């Protein structure tokens, strides 16, 4: 997990050229700096109040947030669940051997972490977050209610899958996605290690996700079979 986190650092993101840093991105999908800035401005224009801005982390943000936060609290998002519904052709996959990336789909609930951003550096931290998450505009940044572990409710920014995106995949059956995750890799590491790191982080925090753990076990078994065949 330390090795994986080291691949995507704050310094890397600040210097990264989005055209090349994450792998080969289809030009038609790659967002410009201006598009990311417009998306961020539009999202902030919908900011519900003048209270603190919270970010909900449900994937790699949980173990490698990169941005600075003044407070980190366990939280639950109701109405949305984790799903590997984003075709992954950069970062931890390629167009030739795509993997699957995590997003949120409607229904159920998700346990994760809420990060309270410092107001003094809010725009700087959000620009970095947009550069990380919105390279191809695959998510819908939305304001949603979170319940913190102490029972408090806060409004947070949540990155939800945009089902209109060309890389949206409706089929998230484990038998479909496990072979993809087991084999995919890219400039930021392997798709499987992303899954294993998330499983480890959730278990460490007492947030076990049974479906995700079962998927991780399938991926491990596929990797063992693959290594045996190669041997």
Catalytic residue numbers? Answer: 133
Distance from C-alpha of 27 to C-alpha of 118, rounded to nearest angstrom: 34
| Cα end-to-end span (Å), the chain | 26
Give dist(CA 46, CA 162) in Å, integer: 18
Q: Which residue has the tokens 């460490």?
A: 204
Taking Cα atoms as reference points, which of 190, 189, 197 lies closest to residue 7?
189
Query: Of 44, 42, 55, 39, which Cα lies nearest the Cα of 155?
Result: 55
**Cβ distance 159 to 143 under 8 Å?**
no
Q: 67 with 125: CB under 8 angstroms?
A: yes
Q: Which of 148, 157, 160, 159 is nearest to 76 (CA)?
A: 148
Specify whether the CB–CB gap between 159 and 104 falls below 8 A.
Answer: yes
The Cβ-side half-sphere exposure at 72, using a 13 Å CA radius, reads: 14
Backbone angles phi, psi at 91, to 5 degrees: 75, -80
d(CA 133, CA 213): 24
């Amino acid at each position: 997990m330390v090795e994986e986190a080291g691949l995507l650092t704050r310094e890397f993101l600040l210097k990264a050229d989005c055209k090349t840093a994450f792998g080969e991105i289809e030009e038609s999908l790659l967002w410009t700096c201006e598009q990311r800035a417009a998306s961020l401005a539009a999202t902030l224009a919908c900011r519900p109040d003048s209270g603190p801005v919270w970010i909900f982390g449900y994937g790699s943000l949980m173990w490698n947030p990169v941005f600075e936060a003044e407070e980190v609290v366990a939280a639950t998002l109701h109405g949305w669940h984790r799903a590997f519904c984003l075709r992954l052709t950069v970062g931890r996959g390629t167009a030739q051997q795509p993997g699957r990336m995590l997003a949120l789909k409607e229904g159920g609930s998700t346990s994760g972490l809420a990060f309270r951003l410092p107001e003094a550096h809010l725009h700087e931290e959000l620009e970095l977050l947009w550069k990380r998450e919105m390279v191809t505009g695959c998510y819908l940044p939305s304001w949603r209610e979170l319940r913190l572990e102490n029972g408090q409710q806060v409004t947070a920014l949540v990155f939800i899958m945009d089902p209109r995106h060309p890389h949206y995949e409706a089929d998230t059956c484990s038998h479909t996605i496990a072979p993809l995750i087991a084999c995919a890799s890219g400039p930021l590491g392997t798709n499987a290690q992303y899954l294993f790191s998330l499983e480890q982080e959730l278990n460490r925090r007492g947030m076990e996700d049974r479906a995700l753990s079962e998927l991780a076990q399938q991926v491990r078994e596929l990797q063992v079979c693959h290594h045996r065949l190669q041997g």
